[in-house]
Amino acid sequence: MAVEERGAVSVVRIENGPVNVLGLDTLRELAATLDGLTEAPAVVLTGAGRAFSAGVDLKLLLDGGESYTREFLLALGGVFRTVFEHPRPLVAAVNGHAIAGGCVIAAGCDYRFMSAGTIGVAELLVGVPFPATALEAIRFVAGPRTAALVLTGRTLKPSDALAVGLVDEVVEPDALLDAALARAEAFAAIPAASFTMTKAALRADARRLMAADDIDGVIEVWNSAPVRAAISGYLERLARR
């Protein structure tokens, strides 16, 4: 995880391989980084290289077995809540693919710019269940379109993502970071207590629903034989492309 200070804004870059997949170590590092910025004037979250985040490292999940899966899912839910509940302005600069967990992280931010790639929640295409914590983050931005996005697993180009609310603005790649920084600076200019109180009120209902997530049930299903077989089959199909 790289952190760069740009004036009043802390720019956090997700870094893990060519497409910034989410493994246990990456999740823990991201959570710790954001926890260390709870008093920052504002934060921009983006990805290193050509992707924002392509989601869960499924191979590592299969190789790690049931105990790793449990630890991973607890950490994943923790990151989703850390992003969604962060007290300071958090702006996403989606520089490339934001798939599954990557999409949920972007959705948890206060404002989202996108310049390239595709975005969407492909969990059901992989064969894994969609936990309530992730669902509420998507519902918060996509509203009534959430069911179609989740059930089809469709990934969207920037203009289509804008139309359904997954992103707030589409910009050219060269303008992405500057646009995100300008929005973050505008948020940072609002008195901190006013922004934080308003953000908490806006997200209160979603946070209550997230708190009711049956994480033990989710872990059990992810570790079940049919789901692990589905993940394996999905990876085999990807390898043949």
pLDDT tens digits, one per residue of 60-106: 999 999 999 999 999 999 999 999 999 999 999 999 999 999 999 99
123 is catalytic: yes
Q: pTM for this one?
A: 0.97
pLDDT mean across residues, the chain:
96
pLDDT band at 55 (very low <50, low <70, confident <90, very high): very high
- The tally of CA atoms less than 13 A away on the side-chain side of residue 141 is 25
What is the structure's pLDDT at 19?
A: 96
Higher pLDDT, 1 or 223: 223
CA-to-CA distance for 59 and 152, rounded, in angstroms? 23
pLDDT band at 241 (very low <50, low <70, confident <90, very high): confident
What is the structure's pLDDT at 1?
A: 84
Q: Which amino acid is at 25?
A: D
Average pLDDT over residues 7-19: 96
What is the structure's pLDDT at 238?
A: 84
Query: Model confidence over 192-225: pLDDT tens digits?
Result: 999 999 999 999 999 999 998 899 999 999 999 9
Query: Model confidence over 149-190: pLDDT tens digits?
Result: 999 999 999 999 999 999 999 999 999 999 999 999 999 999
Torsion angles phi and psi, residue 113, rounded to 5: -100, 145
Query: Model confidence over 93-148: pLDDT tens digits?
Result: 999 999 999 999 999 999 999 999 999 999 999 999 989 999 999 999 999 999 99
What is the structure's pLDDT at 110?
A: 98
CA-to-CA distance for 117 and 20, rounded, in angstroms? 13
Distance of CA 135 to the CA centre of its chain: 11
What is the structure's pLDDT at 216?
A: 94
pLDDT over 70 percentage in the chain: 100
What is the structure's pLDDT at 240?
A: 83
Torsion angles phi and psi, residue 3, rounded to 5: -125, 130
Catalytic one of 15, 29, 66, 123: 123
